[in-house]
Amino acid sequence: MSGQSRVAYLGPAGTFTEDALRDAAPDGDFEPMRTSTVYDAILAVEKGEADRAFVPFENSIEGSVRSTLDTLAFEAEAVTIVGEYDFTVHAHLIVREPVDLSQIEAVLSHPQPLAQCARYLRDQLPGVERRSVSSTAAAVRMVGESSRPWAALGARSAAAFYDCTILSEDVEDEPDNVTRFVWIAPIGTEPSGVGQWKTSLVFSELGEDHPGALVEALQEFSSRDINLSRIESRPLRQGLGRYMFFCDLEGGLDDEVLSEAIAQLKTKADSVRILGSYPLG
Protein backbone atom coordinates (compact mmCIF):
# COMPACT_ATOMS: atom_id res chain seq x y z
CA MET A 1 0.00 0.00 0.00
CA SER A 2 1.09 3.58 -0.52
CA GLY A 3 -0.14 6.85 0.94
CA GLN A 4 -2.33 7.16 3.97
CA SER A 5 -4.86 4.44 3.19
CA ARG A 6 -7.55 3.97 5.80
CA VAL A 7 -7.49 0.37 7.03
CA ALA A 8 -10.42 -1.14 8.95
CA TYR A 9 -9.78 -4.03 11.32
CA LEU A 10 -11.10 -5.67 14.47
CA GLY A 11 -10.40 -3.46 17.49
CA PRO A 12 -9.97 -2.18 20.10
CA ALA A 13 -6.23 -1.57 20.49
CA GLY A 14 -4.21 -4.64 21.38
CA THR A 15 -5.94 -7.38 19.38
CA PHE A 16 -4.01 -10.09 17.56
CA THR A 17 -5.34 -8.54 14.36
CA GLU A 18 -3.67 -5.24 15.23
CA ASP A 19 -0.39 -7.04 15.95
CA ALA A 20 -0.66 -8.85 12.62
CA LEU A 21 -1.46 -5.61 10.78
CA ARG A 22 1.59 -3.88 12.25
CA ASP A 23 3.63 -6.88 11.11
CA ALA A 24 2.10 -6.90 7.62
CA ALA A 25 2.55 -3.14 7.16
CA PRO A 26 5.65 -2.36 9.25
CA ASP A 27 6.10 1.14 7.83
CA GLY A 28 2.82 2.12 9.51
CA ASP A 29 1.82 4.13 6.44
CA PHE A 30 -1.94 3.84 7.02
CA GLU A 31 -4.70 5.41 9.06
CA PRO A 32 -6.13 2.81 11.49
CA MET A 33 -9.90 2.36 11.69
CA ARG A 34 -10.80 0.03 14.55
CA THR A 35 -14.20 -1.65 14.37
CA SER A 36 -16.15 -3.73 16.86
CA THR A 37 -16.56 -6.77 14.56
CA VAL A 38 -15.03 -8.35 11.45
CA TYR A 39 -18.36 -7.73 9.73
CA ASP A 40 -18.07 -3.99 10.40
CA ALA A 41 -14.51 -3.92 9.07
CA ILE A 42 -15.50 -5.52 5.76
CA LEU A 43 -18.64 -3.41 5.39
CA ALA A 44 -16.58 -0.25 5.98
CA VAL A 45 -14.83 -1.00 2.68
CA GLU A 46 -18.08 -1.68 0.85
CA LYS A 47 -19.55 1.59 2.15
CA GLY A 48 -16.47 3.57 1.15
CA GLU A 49 -15.57 4.39 4.75
CA ALA A 50 -12.23 2.56 4.48
CA ASP A 51 -9.82 1.87 1.63
CA ARG A 52 -8.90 -1.59 2.90
CA ALA A 53 -9.87 -4.08 5.57
CA PHE A 54 -7.49 -6.52 7.19
CA VAL A 55 -9.38 -9.50 8.59
CA PRO A 56 -8.63 -13.06 9.80
CA PHE A 57 -9.60 -15.74 7.28
CA GLU A 58 -8.47 -19.04 8.74
CA ASN A 59 -6.41 -20.49 11.56
CA SER A 60 -4.12 -23.52 11.34
CA ILE A 61 -5.73 -25.05 14.45
CA GLU A 62 -9.36 -23.95 14.45
CA GLY A 63 -9.96 -23.60 10.72
CA SER A 64 -11.91 -20.86 9.00
CA VAL A 65 -13.14 -17.69 10.66
CA ARG A 66 -16.86 -18.02 10.08
CA SER A 67 -17.68 -14.34 10.48
CA THR A 68 -15.33 -13.50 7.61
CA LEU A 69 -16.67 -16.22 5.30
CA ASP A 70 -20.30 -15.41 6.00
CA THR A 71 -19.82 -11.67 5.54
CA LEU A 72 -18.11 -12.20 2.19
CA ALA A 73 -20.75 -14.69 1.07
CA PHE A 74 -23.93 -12.98 2.25
CA GLU A 75 -23.31 -9.34 3.08
CA ALA A 76 -20.55 -7.75 1.00
CA GLU A 77 -20.77 -8.32 -2.74
CA ALA A 78 -18.87 -5.15 -3.67
CA VAL A 79 -15.52 -6.16 -2.16
CA THR A 80 -12.71 -8.49 -3.18
CA ILE A 81 -9.68 -10.17 -1.61
CA VAL A 82 -6.48 -8.57 -2.92
CA GLY A 83 -3.83 -10.16 -0.73
CA GLU A 84 -3.04 -12.39 2.24
CA TYR A 85 -0.64 -12.47 5.16
CA ASP A 86 0.27 -15.33 7.50
CA PHE A 87 0.86 -14.40 11.14
CA THR A 88 2.11 -16.67 13.90
CA VAL A 89 -0.10 -16.17 16.95
CA HIS A 90 1.25 -16.37 20.50
CA ALA A 91 -1.41 -16.25 23.20
CA HIS A 92 -0.53 -15.18 26.73
CA LEU A 93 -2.41 -15.61 30.01
CA ILE A 94 -2.85 -12.05 31.25
CA VAL A 95 -3.96 -10.84 34.68
CA ARG A 96 -4.39 -7.46 36.38
CA GLU A 97 -1.65 -8.20 38.88
CA PRO A 98 0.36 -11.32 39.80
CA VAL A 99 -1.85 -14.05 41.20
CA ASP A 100 -1.61 -17.79 41.76
CA LEU A 101 -3.30 -19.91 39.09
CA SER A 102 -5.45 -21.53 41.78
CA GLN A 103 -7.05 -18.16 42.54
CA ILE A 104 -8.26 -17.41 39.02
CA GLU A 105 -12.06 -17.46 38.81
CA ALA A 106 -12.64 -16.98 35.06
CA VAL A 107 -10.75 -16.79 31.77
CA LEU A 108 -11.98 -14.30 29.19
CA SER A 109 -11.14 -14.13 25.49
CA HIS A 110 -12.43 -14.26 21.94
CA PRO A 111 -13.79 -17.75 21.07
CA GLN A 112 -10.84 -18.53 18.78
CA PRO A 113 -8.07 -18.21 21.42
CA LEU A 114 -10.24 -20.03 23.95
CA ALA A 115 -10.35 -22.95 21.52
CA GLN A 116 -6.67 -22.65 20.56
CA CYS A 117 -5.64 -22.85 24.24
CA ALA A 118 -8.20 -25.48 25.30
CA ARG A 119 -5.62 -28.08 26.39
CA TYR A 120 -3.71 -25.55 28.48
CA LEU A 121 -6.94 -24.42 30.16
CA ARG A 122 -7.97 -28.02 30.89
CA ASP A 123 -4.57 -28.88 32.37
CA GLN A 124 -3.71 -25.70 34.23
CA LEU A 125 -7.12 -24.21 35.05
CA PRO A 126 -9.52 -27.16 35.32
CA GLY A 127 -13.07 -26.18 36.13
CA VAL A 128 -12.40 -22.45 35.73
CA GLU A 129 -15.18 -20.62 33.88
CA ARG A 130 -14.46 -19.57 30.30
CA ARG A 131 -16.18 -16.46 28.97
CA SER A 132 -16.37 -15.48 25.31
CA VAL A 133 -16.12 -11.76 24.55
CA SER A 134 -15.91 -9.69 21.36
CA SER A 135 -12.11 -9.57 21.12
CA THR A 136 -8.93 -10.50 22.95
CA ALA A 137 -8.24 -6.83 23.65
CA ALA A 138 -11.68 -6.38 25.18
CA ALA A 139 -10.95 -9.37 27.41
CA VAL A 140 -7.68 -7.83 28.64
CA ARG A 141 -9.39 -4.48 29.22
CA MET A 142 -12.13 -6.15 31.28
CA VAL A 143 -9.54 -8.02 33.34
CA GLY A 144 -7.61 -4.79 33.94
CA GLU A 145 -10.76 -2.97 35.07
CA SER A 146 -12.07 -5.72 37.36
CA SER A 147 -11.16 -6.25 40.98
CA ARG A 148 -11.95 -9.95 40.58
CA PRO A 149 -9.12 -12.47 40.00
CA TRP A 150 -9.87 -12.93 36.30
CA ALA A 151 -7.47 -13.75 33.48
CA ALA A 152 -7.52 -13.11 29.75
CA LEU A 153 -6.00 -14.84 26.76
CA GLY A 154 -4.53 -12.10 24.62
CA ALA A 155 -1.61 -10.42 22.91
CA ARG A 156 1.49 -8.99 24.52
CA SER A 157 0.61 -5.53 23.18
CA ALA A 158 -2.76 -5.65 24.96
CA ALA A 159 -1.10 -6.43 28.28
CA ALA A 160 1.13 -3.39 27.87
CA PHE A 161 -1.67 -1.13 26.61
CA TYR A 162 -3.96 -1.93 29.55
CA ASP A 163 -1.16 -2.04 32.13
CA CYS A 164 -1.68 -5.71 32.95
CA THR A 165 0.70 -8.55 33.78
CA ILE A 166 1.56 -11.59 31.66
CA LEU A 167 1.27 -14.53 34.02
CA SER A 168 2.17 -17.26 31.48
CA GLU A 169 3.59 -16.84 27.98
CA ASP A 170 2.83 -18.79 24.80
CA VAL A 171 -0.03 -20.88 26.19
CA GLU A 172 -1.39 -21.94 22.77
CA ASP A 173 -1.75 -25.71 22.43
CA GLU A 174 0.26 -25.91 19.21
CA PRO A 175 3.49 -23.97 18.61
CA ASP A 176 2.73 -23.60 14.89
CA ASN A 177 -0.41 -21.56 15.47
CA VAL A 178 -0.75 -19.50 12.30
CA THR A 179 -3.64 -17.27 11.29
CA ARG A 180 -4.07 -16.33 7.66
CA PHE A 181 -5.29 -12.76 7.23
CA VAL A 182 -6.64 -11.28 4.01
CA TRP A 183 -6.69 -7.76 2.62
CA ILE A 184 -10.16 -6.64 1.47
CA ALA A 185 -10.59 -3.87 -1.11
CA PRO A 186 -13.44 -2.47 -3.25
CA ILE A 187 -14.34 -4.73 -6.14
CA GLY A 188 -12.46 -3.77 -9.30
CA THR A 189 -9.23 -3.12 -7.39
CA GLU A 190 -6.33 -4.71 -9.24
CA PRO A 191 -3.94 -6.54 -6.89
CA SER A 192 -0.26 -6.39 -7.73
CA GLY A 193 2.45 -8.95 -7.20
CA VAL A 194 4.75 -11.44 -8.86
CA GLY A 195 5.15 -15.18 -8.48
CA GLN A 196 2.39 -17.61 -7.58
CA TRP A 197 -1.23 -16.54 -7.31
CA LYS A 198 -4.32 -17.89 -5.60
CA THR A 199 -8.00 -17.54 -6.50
CA SER A 200 -10.75 -17.83 -3.88
CA LEU A 201 -14.36 -18.47 -4.82
CA VAL A 202 -17.66 -19.71 -3.42
CA PHE A 203 -20.28 -21.71 -5.30
CA SER A 204 -23.64 -23.29 -4.44
CA GLU A 205 -26.75 -25.06 -5.72
CA LEU A 206 -25.48 -27.79 -8.06
CA GLY A 207 -28.75 -28.24 -9.92
CA GLU A 208 -31.04 -31.14 -9.04
CA ASP A 209 -29.59 -33.09 -6.13
CA HIS A 210 -28.00 -36.36 -7.25
CA PRO A 211 -25.10 -38.59 -6.14
CA GLY A 212 -21.75 -37.28 -7.27
CA ALA A 213 -22.88 -33.70 -8.01
CA LEU A 214 -20.05 -32.16 -6.00
CA VAL A 215 -17.49 -34.55 -7.50
CA GLU A 216 -18.65 -33.60 -10.99
CA ALA A 217 -18.25 -29.93 -10.19
CA LEU A 218 -14.76 -30.37 -8.76
CA GLN A 219 -13.70 -32.45 -11.75
CA GLU A 220 -13.69 -29.23 -13.75
CA PHE A 221 -10.54 -28.41 -11.80
CA SER A 222 -8.95 -31.84 -11.36
CA SER A 223 -9.35 -32.71 -15.05
CA ARG A 224 -7.31 -29.61 -15.86
CA ASP A 225 -4.64 -30.30 -13.21
CA ILE A 226 -5.74 -27.31 -11.12
CA ASN A 227 -4.99 -27.87 -7.46
CA LEU A 228 -7.46 -26.96 -4.72
CA SER A 229 -5.47 -25.90 -1.68
CA ARG A 230 -8.65 -25.58 0.40
CA ILE A 231 -12.34 -26.48 0.24
CA GLU A 232 -14.97 -26.00 2.92
CA SER A 233 -18.74 -26.24 3.08
CA ARG A 234 -20.95 -23.78 4.95
CA PRO A 235 -24.76 -23.76 5.34
CA LEU A 236 -26.54 -21.80 2.63
CA ARG A 237 -29.04 -20.44 5.19
CA GLN A 238 -31.93 -21.72 3.10
CA GLY A 239 -32.91 -24.84 5.01
CA LEU A 240 -31.20 -28.02 6.12
CA GLY A 241 -29.08 -29.92 3.62
CA ARG A 242 -28.25 -26.92 1.42
CA TYR A 243 -24.65 -25.77 1.33
CA MET A 244 -22.19 -23.43 -0.31
CA PHE A 245 -18.59 -24.39 -0.96
CA PHE A 246 -15.57 -22.15 -0.46
CA CYS A 247 -12.49 -23.04 -2.51
CA ASP A 248 -8.94 -21.78 -2.83
CA LEU A 249 -7.42 -22.59 -6.22
CA GLU A 250 -3.80 -22.38 -7.27
CA GLY A 251 -3.48 -19.81 -10.06
CA GLY A 252 -4.78 -16.42 -11.09
CA LEU A 253 -7.71 -15.38 -13.27
CA ASP A 254 -5.33 -14.48 -16.09
CA ASP A 255 -4.60 -18.21 -16.36
CA GLU A 256 -6.66 -19.36 -19.35
CA VAL A 257 -7.03 -22.91 -18.04
CA LEU A 258 -8.29 -21.74 -14.66
CA SER A 259 -10.71 -19.28 -16.25
CA GLU A 260 -12.07 -22.05 -18.47
CA ALA A 261 -12.61 -24.32 -15.44
CA ILE A 262 -14.52 -21.58 -13.61
CA ALA A 263 -16.64 -20.95 -16.70
CA GLN A 264 -17.56 -24.63 -16.81
CA LEU A 265 -18.32 -24.64 -13.09
CA LYS A 266 -20.86 -21.88 -13.77
CA THR A 267 -22.75 -24.26 -16.05
CA LYS A 268 -23.20 -26.69 -13.13
CA ALA A 269 -23.75 -24.34 -10.18
CA ASP A 270 -26.52 -21.77 -9.87
CA SER A 271 -24.17 -19.39 -8.09
CA VAL A 272 -20.42 -18.88 -8.51
CA ARG A 273 -18.73 -15.84 -7.01
CA ILE A 274 -15.07 -14.96 -7.23
CA LEU A 275 -13.97 -13.68 -3.82
CA GLY A 276 -10.60 -12.60 -5.10
CA SER A 277 -7.54 -13.45 -7.17
CA TYR A 278 -4.29 -12.34 -5.54
CA PRO A 279 -0.58 -13.16 -5.03
CA LEU A 280 0.35 -15.68 -2.37
CA GLY A 281 1.41 -14.20 0.95
Q: At what angle do helices 213-222 and 256-266 cross, to 10 degrees?
A: 160
Q: Quote the pLDDT of residue 82.
A: 97
Measure CA of the first residue to CA of the last residue in the chain; give whole Å: 14
Sequence ranges of the domains in the chain: 5-89+177-186, 92-168, 197-279
3-state secondary structure of 267: coil
How is residue 27 annotated by DSSP? T
Half-sphere exposure (Cβ direction) of 83: Cα atoms closer than 13 Å: 18
Does domain 5-89+177-186 fall into CATH 3.30.1360.30? no
Name the band, by pLDDT with cuts 50, 70 and 90, for residue 74: very high
- Beta pairing, strands 30-35 & 5-10: parallel
3-state secondary structure of 115: helix
- CA dist 10 and 17 (Å) reads 6
Residue 219's contacts (CB-CB under 8 Å, 6 or more residues apart) are none
Domains 5-89+177-186 and 197-279 share a fold: no
- CA dist 108 and 111 (Å) reads 9
Q: Residues of 192-222 as b/e, b for ≥16 C-beta within 10 angstroms?
A: eeeeebbbbbbbbbbeeeeeeebeebbebbe
**CB of 164 closer than 8 Å to CB of 146:** no
- CA dist 185 and 182 (Å) reads 10
Domain at 92-168, CATH homologous superfamily: Periplasmic binding protein-like II (3.40.190.10)
80 pLDDT higher than 80: yes
Q: Quote the pLDDT of residue 1.
A: 47
3-state secondary structure of 17: helix
Tell me the per-residue pLDDT of 112-152, one tens digit each, with 9 for 90 and over: 899 999 999 999 999 999 999 988 999 999 999 999 999 99
- CA dist 246 and 101 (Å) reads 41
272 CA to centre of own chain: 21
Q: Quote the pLDDT of residue 249.
A: 97
- Beta pairing, strands 271-279 & 243-250: unpaired
206 or 181, higher pLDDT: 181
Q: Which of 117-121, 177-181, 190-194 has the weakest average pLDDT?
A: 190-194
The class (CATH top level) of 197-279 is alpha beta
Closest CA to 184 of 57, 61, 87: 57
